[in-house]
Amino acid sequence: MKRWQFWVGVLISAVFLYFVVRKLDWVSFLLTLKTANYWWILPGVAVYFVAVWARAWRWHYLLRPIKSIKTHVMFPITCIGYMGNNIYPARAGEVLRAVVLKRKEGVPISASLATIIVERIFDGVVMLAFVFVNLTQLAKLADVSVPVGKWNITIQDLAIWGSVAFFGALVIFLLAAMFPKVTARFGQWFIDWLLPAHIREQTSGIMHKFLDGLASLRSPVNVLMVFLTSIIIWLLETVKYWFVMHAFGFYASFFTLMLMNGVVNLATTIPAAPGYLGTFDAPGIAVLVANGIDGAVATGYTFVLHVALWLPITLLGAYYMAREGIKWSDSLRTETKEV
């Protein structure tokens, strides 16, 4: 709570939320929430948990060169990680699930984090694919922007910079995986040049474990498998968007919901308050309004969708964390720092 990054995230969330509510018709918004058929959320949640199981399988697949762990073992750890992302700032859940995996299976945290970063890169690439498949609809959002500090962030800016970031990271990681010895020598040169002598050995060990976590990317078949799994995961999540849409009685094409999914998940890479408050909602509403959906209906739908995505996985992750007897204690905080 005392860290400046937390308060910057809160401020950014507040700015995004301000642009959501400043012109909102509150009477229509509350009527939308009152008349929604919330039973449609149940099949959406069921589909979403299938997607989470697919995430656990993908993580198991990425970890196979290090240690073969069954998907049913990975699933609770994955849920714990997503719970952590939802309630702790700065995506602390990613480190949390790496720590839990180390406790349960002895996998080095650095190697786990390498696979988790690979997951995120592939997720970003798929989100960009969802956006660029809908270039015609993306053009409708050319003038939609949210001022953050001195900058006006548009949806198109987000897509362009996201492309540079995610495709650039993918190329770097693929090269590092294909040429581990060259990467290790290059990394060691930087370690020897930049770091004081007393931490070089430890940092070098972390680097080598991290490179071990990229081993699955050395096979083109593995890369293709991870990419296809990532597409399936995000299509399943879009199906949840589709189910929740029916609760509000409006129609948007599946491609529009794919665009919304891509845009909001790219936007959540912007620092924000825990749970991606505001950075999820404002872009999602903008996509729907640009496609002719009433603003109050779009706002009600997006807020309910956000809760439906946030609450079930957070509760399940908290249950698994309690079942494992894990607490966010000083010892756990210490472990998260020993990356």
Instruction: State which of 112-126, 168-182, 206-220 shows the largest mean pLDDT.
Output: 112-126
Q: Which of 118, 115, 90 is nearest to 102 (CA)?
A: 115
User: Which residues, in sequence order, are CB contacts of 123 under 8 Å at separation 6+?
Assistant: 230, 233, 234, 265
Poorest-confidence range of 23-37, 136-150, 290-304?
136-150
- Kindly indicate the confidence band of residue 191, based on its pLDDT and cuts at 50, 70 and 90: confident
Q: What is the DSSP letter of 139?
A: G
* CB of 62 closer than 8 Å to CB of 216: yes
Q: What is the pLDDT of residue 333?
A: 57
- Chain length of the chain: 339
Q: Which residue(s) pair with 153 in the sheet?
A: 146
d(CA 203, CA 48) in angstroms, rounded, equals 38
d(CA 24, CA 18) in angstroms, rounded, equals 10
d(CA 274, CA 297) in angstroms, rounded, equals 25
- How far is CA 7 from each of CA 3, 10, 148, 214, rounded to the nearest angstrom? 7, 5, 14, 34
Q: What is the pLDDT of residue 219?
A: 85
Look at residue 336 and tell me whether its pLDDT is greater than 60.
no
Q: Which of 245, 210, 234, 191 is nearest to 113 (CA)?
A: 210
As a whole number, mean pLDDT of residues 189-213 equals 80
Question: What's the count of helices (H) and strands (E) in the chain, helices before strands?
Answer: 15, 2
| Domain ranges, ordered by start, for the chain | 38-337
Tokens 């009152």 found at: 34
* CB of 128 closer than 8 Å to CB of 266: yes
Q: What is the pLDDT of residue 1?
A: 47
Is the whole-model pTM more than 0.75?
Answer: yes
Q: What would the pLDDT profile of 57-111 be if each residue is shown by its tens digit? A: 999 999 998 899 999 999 999 999 999 999 987 788 898 999 999 989 999 998 8
Q: What would the pLDDT profile of 134-179 be if each residue is shown by its tens digit? A: 777 766 666 666 555 556 666 666 677 777 787 788 888 788 888 8
Which tokens in the block code for residue 182? 């060259």
